[in-house]
Amino acid sequence: MATTEKQAPVAKKIEEQRFEFVLYINNNIICQRYFHIFDFNEDSIKSLELKEMMGEIAGMNNGKFGTLGIIPNYLKEKSMQYLWDSYNPYFNQADETYKAPAKKGDMFQFEVKVDKRVVAATQFSNEFFTLNPKVSVDIREIIPTIMSEIRQTMSRKNYSIVEF
């Protein structure tokens, strides 16, 4: 008589991711993603390239011509789309009736973490966008671009090390 042995189910070990990025608005998390970086170079944490990467992702006045980073550029595009969608060419608005909305002073913060330790952080103001950050900020479309920028920067072979 043949007996069959019952094997205990193998528990899948959930591997903890070392790297993450977090986007906050006034210290409230909007987006948080964990990911891997293959061929991670520890020298990237103390490099000038890390600072440049933060400008590429969340900078407001990059380079000679003041270009925007990935996140501010995306928010600008969404703001423009909202303005055009709500534009009414048949409504004549007198300049006297227009009152600019009050600036709330909302601040976006962007952090990159390695092993739950913040290695880079930056912030920029929401005053330049028409979006209500608590309702309409959705950056799912640009998450792969952000992760790609971080991976490329932190897996390079050579860096310009900054001594503190």
Q: How many residues does the chain have?
A: 164
pLDDT at 12: 53
- Does 101 fall in a domain? no
Over 70: is that where the pLDDT of 6 sits?
A: no
pTM of the shown model: 0.80
- Does 99 fall in a domain? no
Over 80: is that where the pLDDT of 15 sits?
A: no
Overall domain count for the chain: 1
- Does 9 fall in a domain? no
Q: In angstroms, rounded to a whole number, what is the distance separating the alpha carbons of residues 100 and 134?
A: 19
- Does 32 fall in a domain? yes
- Does 163 fall in a domain? no
pLDDT band with cut points at 50, 70 and 90 for residue 5 = low
pLDDT tens digit string along 44-62? 999 999 999 999 999 998 8
pLDDT at 63: 77
pLDDT tens digit string along 74-109? 999 988 888 788 777 787 766 665 565 666 678 999
Q: Are 83 and 69 in contact (CB under 8 A)?
A: no
For residue 28, give the 3-state DSSP assignment: strand
Task: Supply the range of the domain harboring residue 30.
Answer: 19-83+106-154
pLDDT at 10: 55
